[in-house]
Chain A
Amino acid sequence: MGYTLNFNLIWRHFDKLSGGLLLSLELALISIAIGIAIGLVLAVWYVSAGRIVRGVIAAYVEFIRNVPLILLVYLVFYGLPTVIDIAYSAQTSFVATLALYSGAYLVEVFRSGLEAVPRGQIDAGKAIGLTPWQRLLHVRLPTMMRITLPALSNTFISLFKDTSVASVISVPELTYGAQWINFNTFRIVEVYLVVTAMYLVTGYALLFALRLVERWYRTAR
């Protein structure tokens, strides 16, 4: 025992943590934006595709979901550049990985959402003479969005937490900032207490905000 808490050094280096938190949020936000695009395209394609395309999409989804994120991060950052002629920063590489990662989870979310759109709505769309594109854009996607919004918020929050893995390729996000302070000041317990609080407050604030958005979206129509 005999450990006395002393937060002075944490506050002196707090820019590492505050900057890290902003970068974590930025990484999560860019990744989910790309992930949503991947998920939407593949989900819409999946529900109307033949067996082969379905097999390929399912293989992508199952592969990503069953492999640890840290391995995917290493694979994209250290592995890919050895076989294809490509160069990118750690940050770009991580965003690409997390986007592919979230895309796989979101394909599943959107696919089940699309399948949950009531048959009657699609028939009604046909009855008033909408083309398949119009039905997708004005009938199926809006209904699907409302169904999948809670799952989408959950995915975003878990992505925010997953950005901590970026620290293994030295992207200076929040966990990296914590490690830096840990190794340079040895105020170990303090730094992880502060970082835990920062993840918790941000995560639950996001959750609260997203739940409000969901409520508004549900009652708006």
Chain B
Amino acid sequence: MLSQIAYALPFLAEGFALTLWVSLLVVVLSLFAGVILGVGLVYGPAPLRWAVRIFSDTIRGIPILVLIFFVYYGLPAVGVHLQSFWAAVLALTLFKTAQVVEYLRGAVASIPKGQSEAAMAIGLTFRQRLAYVIFPQAFRRFLPPWINGVTDAVKGSALVSLLGITDLMQAINQVIGRTYEAMPLYILGALLYFAVNYALSYASRRLEQRFAFIRE
């Protein structure tokens, strides 16, 4: 049994690498999209605010799995052909972007209004106010939940196995299909996911402690 699993290790490692790669792409892309949309939600004109609000509430209101199937099966139906890998990344990015929007909104809302009023009073432009006053402070509130939320991207990425993408989850299922060693492999997989996510939530807790002094 052990030799069979040892034989499968390189295959599992490839799957694990793909899981990390998908998660990384999703985290980076959603960070950009989420921050831009989040600024739109807080400072944009009313129609933009409404659009972002509807986007965020819709995406957060449906299961990730439905979102993944919708994007994967729905896009080709309307003539958009993406590789399953990119369809999966797109769906997970949409899901994660909605989260980032909310983290950003929360972080900016937590900065006292007096700060931007004072910045206005000394004649800073809108961009200067964001860059020198609001963002440096909001960043501290944004970072811990955001890092903690990265675990959602890693966990969510396990669902892409259902699209036939050989991530860690799919690699495990395939090895089980050959070796019938279900339990040891599921536990191995669980430990790998655990290691990544626990490290991330640990980092987020440490950061939160470090930034705690700003709390009233």
Asked if B201 and A66 make an inter-chain contact with CB atoms under 8 angstroms apart, the answer reads yes
- Against A, the Cβ 8 Å flags (1 = close, 0 = not) of B139-155 are 00000000000010011
Partner of B158, one of A71, A162, A195: A71
Query: What CA separation (Å) do A161 and B190 show in the bound complex?
Result: 22
Asked if B77 and A189 make an inter-chain contact with CB atoms under 8 angstroms apart, the answer reads yes
Count of A residues near B, CB < 8 Å? 41
Asked if A188 and B169 make an inter-chain contact with CB atoms under 8 angstroms apart, the answer reads no
Query: With A79-B183, A200-B58 in contact, is A162–B155 under 8 Å at CB?
Result: no
Query: What CA separation (Å) do A68 and B23 show in the bound complex?
Result: 13
Indicate if B89 sits at the interface (CB-CB under 8 A): no
Indicate if B70 sits at the interface (CB-CB under 8 A): yes
Q: Which residues of B sit under 8 angstroms from A62, Cβ to Cβ? A: 194, 198
- Closest partner residue, chain A, to B162 (CB atom): A168
- Against A, the Cβ 8 Å flags (1 = close, 0 = not) of B146-182 are 0000010011111101100000010011001000101
Asked if B66 and A75 make an inter-chain contact with CB atoms under 8 angstroms apart, the answer reads no
Asked if A67 and B190 make an inter-chain contact with CB atoms under 8 angstroms apart, the answer reads yes
Partner of B77, one of A3, A67, A178: A3
- Against B, the Cβ 8 Å flags (1 = close, 0 = not) of A32-75 are 00000000000000000000000000000011011111111011
Asked if A67 and B197 make an inter-chain contact with CB atoms under 8 angstroms apart, the answer reads yes
Indicate if B122 sits at the interface (CB-CB under 8 A): no
Distance of A63 from chain B, by nearest CB (Å): 6
Q: Which residues of B sit under 8 angstroms from A92, Cβ to Cβ? A: none
Query: What CA separation (Å) do A62 and B202 show in the bound complex?
Result: 11
Query: What CA separation (Å) do A72 and B183 show in the bound complex?
Result: 11
Query: What CA separation (Å) do A168 and B77 show in the bound complex?
Result: 23
Indicate if B73 sits at the interface (CB-CB under 8 A): yes
Distance of B202 from chain A, by nearest CB (Å): 10
Query: With A164-B66, A175-B66 in contact, is A67–B58 under 8 Å at CB?
Result: no
Most B CB contacts (10 A, CB to CB) among A186, A192, A195 go to A192
Distance of A5 from chain B, by nearest CB (Å): 10
Distance of A96 from chain B, by nearest CB (Å): 15
> B residues near A, CB below 8 A?
58, 61-66, 69-70, 73-74, 77-79, 151, 154-159, 161-162, 169, 172-173, 176, 180, 182-183, 186-187, 189-190, 193-194, 197-198, 201
A–B pairs, 24, beta carbons within 8 Å: A1-B78, A65-B197, A65-B201, A66-B193, A66-B201, A67-B155, A67-B197, A68-B154, A70-B158, A71-B158, A71-B193, A75-B183, A78-B176, A78-B182, A78-B186, A82-B182, A162-B63, A164-B63, A164-B65, A182-B69, A188-B74, A195-B66, A196-B70, A199-B62
